[in-house]
Chains A and B, each alone.
Chain A
Amino acid sequence: MSDSALLEDPSTGATKPKTMKSKQAPRATAESMAAKQRDISVSEFFAKNRHLLGFDNPRKALLTTVKEAVDNSLDACEEAGILPDITVIIEDLQPDRPASAKSGRYRVTVVDNGPGIVRKQVENIFGRLLYGSKFHRLKMSRGQQGIGISAAGMYGLITTGKPMVIHTKPSAKSPAHHIELAMNTKTNRAEVTEDSETKDFPPARFGQLTSGTRELVDKGEFLSPATYTTGTSVSIELDGRYQKGRGSVDEFLELTAIANPHARFTFVPPSKASDEEEDVPLLRRGKKAEEKNAPADAVGSEKDSPGEGQPPKPIEPQVTTETGGVMVFPRAVEELPAETKEIQPHPRGIELGILLQMLKEAEIEKPGYTLYNFLQDKFSRVSAGSASAFCEKIGVTSRTKVADVDHDTAEKLFREFQDSKLPPPPTDCLAPIGVQQLLKGMFKGVRAEFYAASSREAAVYRGRPFLIEAAIAFGGELSADEPCRVIRFANRVPLLFQQSACSSFKAVIETNWRNYDLQQPRGAVPVGALVIMIHMASVWVPFTSESKEAIADYDEIRKEMKLALMECGRKLGSYLNKRLKMRRESERRDIFERYIGEIANACNAINGVDAKKLYEAMLVQARKRTAIADLQLDDEGKKVKEPDPADQEGVIIVEQAANLAPAEPAPVASPAKATKAEKAASDLGKRAKKKGEAEQPTLIAAAAKPSRKVEAKPSKKSAKTEPPPARLPSQPPSRPPSQAPSRPTPPAAAPGKKPKPKMRLENGKLVPVDEPGLF
């Protein structure tokens, strides 16, 4: 086309099609097209569209593989009533590759102590997409579609050509099956390349991987045959990238451990992490001082420290190229989540197409099936009465057979379903994590000062029951000037990506945190030392995509989320309020207590009154007037003298030893500190036994080691811990026992667990607490 042509006809729209047409090849005919038309195997589809399943890039592929395997393991263990003990091992198969390599070959192995898999099912479970026990039922479980693990195996196969290696031991008495299989993406079937029996389960090889695993094996804490009497081990070789930070395997396991306090996880990371460390991840934030002293902490860390063997080094972006440590996330509760029931769909949650499908299936299933019976059998909450009411409303009798329901009638029925006033679906199909477990999980994972949790009653979206739980952790070591961290879970599975697309994230933003004394920029999450956890449990979690990264934004769901958050927020608000009040009161008391000794002496010098008696009388008054400072905090700010465990539901408050107060000048001057420290020390000392450890907050006491702060600032420290000299020549009375009331250990605490945290007044300032990494 020449310029002149353009000039002649400036309407390009008119000229262009013409030229295009002239250059195009002859169009396909219906016949030629038909020749190319054929079945697309699901596997083929997903092999091409692997991003849909979470295999977008090497790093995420590694994570997704771990995630799918762990999810399956957890589901299997729970269904079999076994407390999960899951070991995740990532081996770097190309440790010598250049540091600049974008990805490398890894072998991911996940070993569980679940029930194992019977031989004949192995191919189906691991070798086919869309094969599973979970898709067809309405039951709360982690996996849903039956895509996960086989997709991971397929990804491994595509990227490395290596088959999946499965060891499974369904019976404690017989040897394990050793199966290697590769998926044929064309047929969506597995091809077994190796099928033998082995006595090597759990595979002993892993015990010798690193110094950390050897150490644990010696202690019987790593893949112990006693624990893994049955179980399954899946190994997948794949092209991946191991890198810490957000969206890492580490974060996933850390969060999974929070949401699954009943499970024990062991993680053997590869010897080498990618050089390109980005974030310092997760819930703990290393401080410079801590990092320096990290090795020293290791010595003191005991059973409460999850980092057995070698505790994790605080993650330091520049340095971490070697992660020798095996991480152990211990079990925090010894009860399995309640078993969930499978439910029938609720009429209000059904869609027309599915209804039609169900009608068709029912006809085949039971010839002569009446609609009346069908309604009662196949739906939840449809009683005989409501079934006949439905029949009546759509103009059929209770004898009408399913086969006779035509499309129009079905549509009428569908409309009636929407308008029906049926009770919401049963909720025994949901197993909430539970407030106590949430708290323990959060406590395990986040080092904060205050924890609150709430578990809502079940609600319904689209006829599907769901339940929202929320927990928050506040203060402590969390950074106070960054936006809060939101951690999201669906059926106990952490959601690591697409945060802003997630209903829960929106719920956090929509909640007005300013009501609870937190800062919150407009249209953003609150800023502060806060971690917010949201968990949605449902028989069917509405994800925005197959890779299950964000919860779809249903109004009903978001509303419940907000209510749960508000409940936590209120607890936090009242804690903050109370803390402020207590602080004021304790400042008051400190001031009074400081001066009355002087006053009593002066008074004695003037009129000869018994200074000791006068001092005591003043002390009594001072105490009475500041009684609030002695109160224990409870969740609603009620006064609890001898707290009843029930009152503490939903909160954990970590006692802070006031003498840990850092260098910053205390507003009311140091004297207060001395008494506080003394008090705190004696209080804690009861549990910690060792004085040196008494500076740690109670909860951490077991894992305590000499405080680094102390070493760093010996002068400050000693000045503060010195018991105050006698105020009077005539010895001030010792504090009555009621001055240091202690909370009873909660009955729920499992043996060998940490003592229940408690709080006594804190002289203001949030004091960062130093203890070894919890992970």
Chain B
Amino acid sequence: MAKAKDKPSAKLKERDKRTLSKIVELADDVSKKTLGGKEPVFHIPTRTKSNTLWNKKRGILEMGDGKADRPLFDLKTAKQFMQTMLHGSTIKDLIDSGKTSSLRGVFYKAKHTVAGTKENTFDTQEESDPILEDLEVTLGALREELHIFAENRGTLVGNITLVDRGDEIDGRRMGSGGWGIPSIVEPDVIQFKKCEAKFVLHVEKGTVWNRFNEDRFWEENNCILTHGAGQPPRGCRRLLQRLNQELKLPIVCVLDCDPWGHYIYSVIKQGSISLAFESSRLAIPDAKFLGIRAKDYEECDLGEAVKIDLTENDVKRAKEIAAYPWFEGHKGWQKEIQGLLNNGFKMEVEAMINKGISYVTEEYVPERLKAKDWLD
């Protein structure tokens, strides 16, 4: 046990050295420029749509070379400059002391009143989080390399045994709650030990996941069952990707039939704009979209009650998604989105209960899996 614990920590040290040197490099640049009478500037790769490239060959989103200057002596960026610097020193502190902290913890650590004023360095965590992402991309270091973790979000259950920071986790014995997916699931923290599952079924929300778990779907169908509480966080996506790449398990998604569901699928598959720099670690290009499909209203003979009207915003969003480069040339998806628009209503996974409490777990998903009726 002790050995198991030592190993990763030795590894961490190696990585930490690298991260530390990057942070020091950043600070050196600031002090050198300043003392040399030049204005200190951070060059921060931009996490915007315009700086996001679609790598068709790899099927993922990648971050471009675009960088935004963050000079100190500019009204718009002065505060951010300070915040970046503060977080730099916070992270160095974390690494030095060998501890990790949550995003919120880091926010609190760096939050204080600016000397001589009543102004806070950070007012809200919403101000702090993007600065950390800035640092990730600027330093080229991942969040876990910065010793920062997010709240656990997402749950797993299924025919797999894994090791989480030295403790063995048996996915088959997780009761009704499941195993919370940590925000850092890198190989030095999580190792896969034994896996019989043939695929992963990823559902959108905890409520749906509960249905599948209660019906022992993973046992019946020999799979792993996960959810990401809506838009899956990085930890969840990373774990899915590792399951997909290391264990070669297909990832099958069951999401709502609405633009949001489509978007979640898109993020799982290609990566997101704001985390484009991590796409190669997070995106699962062969993830499959099983449902709910626009055609299901008729195919499954669902009742009027399942319909939720599309809002104007939904329509707009659907059209935007249809125009994504990775959906644009995809006939199936164009048809799917058009179907949604033609329907004029959305459907949630839970709505399947309309056909029977376990209709979705006992009939809908197994049949579709068997028929390989999915979009990818």
Contact = CB atoms under 8 A, between A and B. Distances in A.
Given A591-B79, A598-B114, 15 more contacts: A592-B78, A594-B114, A595-B72, A595-B114, A598-B82, A599-B72, A601-B89, A602-B85, A605-B93, A606-B23, A606-B85, A609-B31, A674-B116, A675-B116, A726-B116
Top 3 nearest A-B pairs (CB, nearest first) are A724-B116, A671-B117, A606-B27
B72 A598 contact: no
A591 B75 CA distance: 7
Interface string B97-124: 0000000000000000011111101000
B134 to A, nearest CB: 15
A725 B73 CA distance: 23
Contacts of A670: 117-118
5 contacts: A598-B82, A606-B88, A607-B31, A622-B73, A728-B115
Interface stretch (A236-244, A354-362, A562-570, A612-620): A612-620
B268 to A, nearest CB: 36
A712 interface: no
A596 B79 CA distance: 10
A330 interface: no
A724 B115 contact: yes
* SS of A interface (majority): helix
A725 B31 CA distance: 24
B35 A669 contact: no
Interface of B: 23-24, 26-28, 30-31, 34-35, 37, 39-40, 72-73, 75, 78-79, 81-82, 85-86, 88-89, 92-93, 114-119, 121
Contact of B34 (A601, A617, A725, A728): A617
A598 B88 CA distance: 12
Given A594-B116, A614-B35, A602 B86 contact: yes
Given A592-B72, A621-B73, A671 B88 contact: no
Contacts of B24: 606-607
B121 A598 contact: yes
A727 interface: yes
A622 B92 CA distance: 27
A569 to B, nearest CB: 31
A645 to B, nearest CB: 35
A669 B119 contact: yes
Contacts of B115: 597-598, 724-728
A621 B37 contact: yes
A617 B117 contact: no
A726 to B, nearest CB: 7
Contacts of A606: 23-24, 26-27, 85, 88-89, 92
Contact of A621 (B28, B34, B92, B117): B34
Interface string A577-603: 000000000011001101111110111
Interface residues of A, number: 36
B27 A595 contact: no
Nearest to B80: A595
A532 to B, nearest CB: 36
A605 B30 CA distance: 13
A603 B23 CA distance: 10
B26 to A, nearest CB: 8
Contacts of B117: 594, 669-671, 674, 724
A719 B116 CA distance: 11
B30 A603 contact: yes
Interface string A653-675: 00000000000000001110011
A583 to B, nearest CB: 13
Contacts of A687: none
Contact of A599 (B23, B28, B81, B92): B81
A603 B39 contact: no
A724 B119 CA distance: 12
A713 interface: no
B116 A595 contact: no
A606 B26 CA distance: 9
A594 B118 CA distance: 10
Given A592-B78, A594-B114, A602-B88, A671 B119 contact: yes
A727 B92 contact: no
A625 interface: yes
A537 B30 CA distance: 65
A618 B75 contact: no
A605 B24 CA distance: 10
Contacts of A601: 89
Contacts of A617: 34-35, 37
Nearest to B32: A609
Contacts of A625: 73
B33 to A, nearest CB: 9
A527 B288 CA distance: 69
A126 to B, nearest CB: 70
Contacts of A605: 89, 92-93
Contact of B82 (A588, A595, A671, A674): A595
B116 A602 contact: no
A607 B28 contact: yes
Nearest to A584: B75
Given A671-B114, A674-B117, A595 B79 contact: yes
B92 to A, nearest CB: 5
Contacts of A596: 72
A66 to B, nearest CB: 55
B72 A618 contact: yes
Contacts of A598: 82, 85-86, 114-115, 121
A613 B27 contact: no
A613 B37 CA distance: 12
Interface in A455-476: none
A498 B72 CA distance: 59
A613 B92 CA distance: 22
A40 B118 CA distance: 82
Given A592-B72, A598-B121, A609 B116 contact: no
B73 A671 contact: no
Given A607-B24, A725-B116, A621 B39 contact: yes
A677 B23 CA distance: 38
Interface string A184-215: 00000000000000000000000000000000
Contacts of B88: 602, 606
Nearest to B87: A602
B306 to A, nearest CB: 51
Contacts of A599: 30, 40, 72, 81-82, 85
B204 to A, nearest CB: 41
Which of B23, B26, B31, B82 has most chain A Cβ within 10 Å?
B31
Contacts of A618: 34, 40, 72
Interface string A430-467: 00000000000000000000000000000000000000
A728 B115 CA distance: 8
Which of B85, B116, B119, B121 has most chain A Cβ within 10 Å?
B116
A587 B26 CA distance: 28
Contacts of B119: 594, 669, 671
Nearest to B117: A671
Contacts of A675: 116
A463 B114 CA distance: 70
B34 A614 contact: yes
Contacts of A622: 73
A602 B135 CA distance: 14
B81 A727 contact: no
A614 B37 CA distance: 10
A768 to B, nearest CB: 24
Contacts of A727: 115-116
Which of B28, B34, B81 has most chain A Cβ within 10 Å?
B34
A596 B35 CA distance: 13
A547 to B, nearest CB: 59
Contacts of A614: 31, 34-35
A728 B73 CA distance: 19
A671 B117 CA distance: 4
Nearest to B121: A598
A728 B114 CA distance: 11
A665 to B, nearest CB: 11
Nearest to B75: A588
